[in-house]
Amino acid sequence: MSCADTTPGSTVPSASSTTTPSPSVVLTDCSFAWPDGAVVLDRVTTAFGRGRTGLVGSNGAGKSTLVRLVTGDLAPTGGRVSTTGPVDLLPQRLRRGPDDTVADLLGIRPRLDALHAILGGDPDPRHFDALGDDWDLEARAVAALSEVGLDLDTGDLLRPVATLSGGQAVLTAVTGVRLRERPVAVLDEPTNDLDLRSRGLLLDLVDRWRGTLVVVSHDRELLEHVDEIAELRDGSMRTSGGTWSDFEQRLAVERSAAERDLRDADQLLRAERRQRIEAETTIARRAKAGRRSAESMPAIIAHARRNKAEATAGRLRSGHGDAEARARDQVDVASRAVRDDDAVRVDLPDPAIPAGRRLAELTVRGRTTVLQGPERIAVVGANGTGKTTLLEQLVGVHGARPHPSADTGATSFTERVAWLPQRRDGLLADDDTVLEHVARAAPTVPDREMRNALARLLVRGSVVDRTTSTLSGGERFRVALAGLVLADPVPQLLVLDEPTNDLDMATTDHLVDVLAAWRGGLVVVSHDERFLDRLGLHARVALD
């Protein structure tokens, strides 16, 4: 009988134990499949021990599902998941409701409320039970926040989370994970929304992490700070000691060997096919000669020779047919071993913008940068400097806040603007099919032509007719991007806010390919310097 053992502390030894095992997560013959039959894990056995593990895999590979199995939010359909201690989680999407405070994000709100009640003179024993011995809670929280560059005081612990930037919220939530000091922690895409300084602080935290840390990430820089890589692919998992660079080197060696095996298998298959054809030709010639000689033989002798010839031909055909089939099987095995990531073959509609056409102006501290024609501008700066506000002004988001700096703002000189916001949850209607979503942006484009265009953006086959709610994160991003760049009329200005957030490395490469083929203007906000370096920027606008 399969079972899941993910109860916090369920396998932690008692206080009287003489030894304490290293915190770990263990999957034993673990399987998971959704009710529709989609397999995420297929009898996986692996373990994450003390230290830092980078969990990688393409969008849709099942990383988030694996995290839910480890935290006990889901139970495996087969096998077992066990932990040697309670599991803490930094989710990919943080709660940032209007009533949530910094203390909520830190996970200390109940204890903080109890502390304040006691200090206010309330003697209710429940407050003392909730607080325990944590009388220095406020000081420890403020000190921990200071370590990650957040200059807050005890009064700020009840500050609304909505007043924090995305990066500040992430660092606050990571600090909460550290304060709780559970032996197993999972950080799901922690570098999303972080500026360069915040990223450096997070990397320092990762380097100093105690216990078992599993980092779900597509961030190459972050993955250089782990002790091992665990890759989830096609329902199986492999672990490899070392950083992402070490893992890539091993993949390159394996890919070279797999491609060599495939070439050898192809050559063998061609040779076996050629020998089979030659054998068929020989059999046909013998049969023709046998028919001629049989005309001058007694019937009984001719019949015997014919039977013998047919038996010989059968063995010859069978032998060559079996050899060819084995060679074909070798080709199939070798083909599956070659990791062939799709490449985008992009042929986008042309907005036909003259080189001198003014599309936008961005003014920062009184200095104006003009975007003309198919130019590309990046907006960069630390968290909280107003980059998103600047873009919202540019695209004319209803109710966009004025920029904190009076001499900073943005203006668009075209109505044909395509906007991809940082928070993309509401871009796709869950009940729409992919084709319906894209067709809404280009109602005059024939169905077949739109399917062909989607295929070139790697949205192909049965995916086109699926509802968007069934898509993986990477697929949803490609569909959202396709709805922008395939729109009719064609946008003249494309505005992207942190487009690489949550994207795996392959999908980021696809995005770069699409933007390389984009012939309109581009304004992009990103903290990902590797990504920006690949865009062929004409200018950078810095906010600080």
Q: How far is CA 470 from the centre of its chain?
A: 16
Rounded distance between C-alpha atoms, residue 178 and residue 205, angstroms: 9
pLDDT(493) > 80 = yes
Q: How far is CA 304 from the centre of its chain?
A: 69
Comparing C-alpha atoms, which of 388, 405, 391 is closest to residue 523?
Answer: 391
Rounded distance between C-alpha atoms, residue 148 and residue 167, angstroms: 11
Handedness of CA 480, 483, 486, 490 (dihedral sign): negative
- The token pair that represents 421 in the structure block: 């916001």
Contacts of 387 (CB under 8 A, 6+ apart): 379, 380, 381, 497, 525, 543
pLDDT of residue 213: 93
pLDDT of residue 66: 92
Contacts of 429 (CB under 8 A, 6+ apart): 437, 468
CB-based burial, 51-86: b 16+ in 10 Å, e otherwise: bbbbbbbbbbbbbbbbbbbbbbebebbbbbbbbbbb
**78, 79, 237, 312 from 28: Cα distances, Å:** 9, 6, 12, 53
Q: How far is CA 463 from the centre of its chain?
A: 18
How many Cβ atoms from other residues are within 10 Å of residue 340's Cβ?
Answer: 10
Of residues 394 and 328, the one with the higher pLDDT is 394
Calculate mean pLDDT across residues 235-262.
83
Q: pLDDT tier at 70 (50, 70, 90 boundaries)?
A: very high
Contacts of 24 (CB under 8 A, 6+ apart): 47, 48, 49, 50, 83, 84, 184, 212
pLDDT(10) > 60 = no
Question: What letter would DSSP give residue 433?
Answer: B
- Check: CB of residue 413 under 8 Å from CB of residue 359: yes
Contacts of 443 (CB under 8 A, 6+ apart): 488
pLDDT of residue 399: 59
Rounded distance between C-alpha atoms, residue 55 and residue 448, angstroms: 39
Average pLDDT, the chain: 81
- pLDDT digits over 466-480, tens only? 888 887 777 788 888
Helices within 186-298 (DSSP H only): 196-207, 244-294
Which stretch of 36-45, 396-405, 501-510 has the lowest confidence by average pLDDT?
396-405
- pLDDT digits over 202-234, tens only? 899 899 888 899 999 888 889 999 999 999 988
- pLDDT digits over 164-202, tens only? 877 888 889 999 998 888 889 999 989 877 888 888 888
pLDDT(55) > 80 = yes
Question: Which residues of 84-227 form beta strands (DSSP E)?
Answer: 87-90, 184-188, 212-216
Percent of the chain with pLDDT over 90: 28
- pLDDT digits over 257-306, tens only? 777 777 777 777 777 777 767 766 776 666 666 566 665 666 676 566 66
pLDDT of residue 142: 92
pLDDT(30) > 90 = yes
Q: pLDDT tier at 106 (50, 70, 90 boundaries)?
A: very high
pLDDT of residue 211: 84
- pLDDT digits over 357-416, tens only? 999 999 998 899 999 999 999 999 888 788 888 998 998 876 566 776 778 888 899 989
- pLDDT digits over 424-437, tens only? 777 788 888 888 88
495, β-bridge pairs: 419, 523
Question: Which residues of 93-234 form beta strands (DSSP E)?
Answer: 184-188, 212-216, 228-233
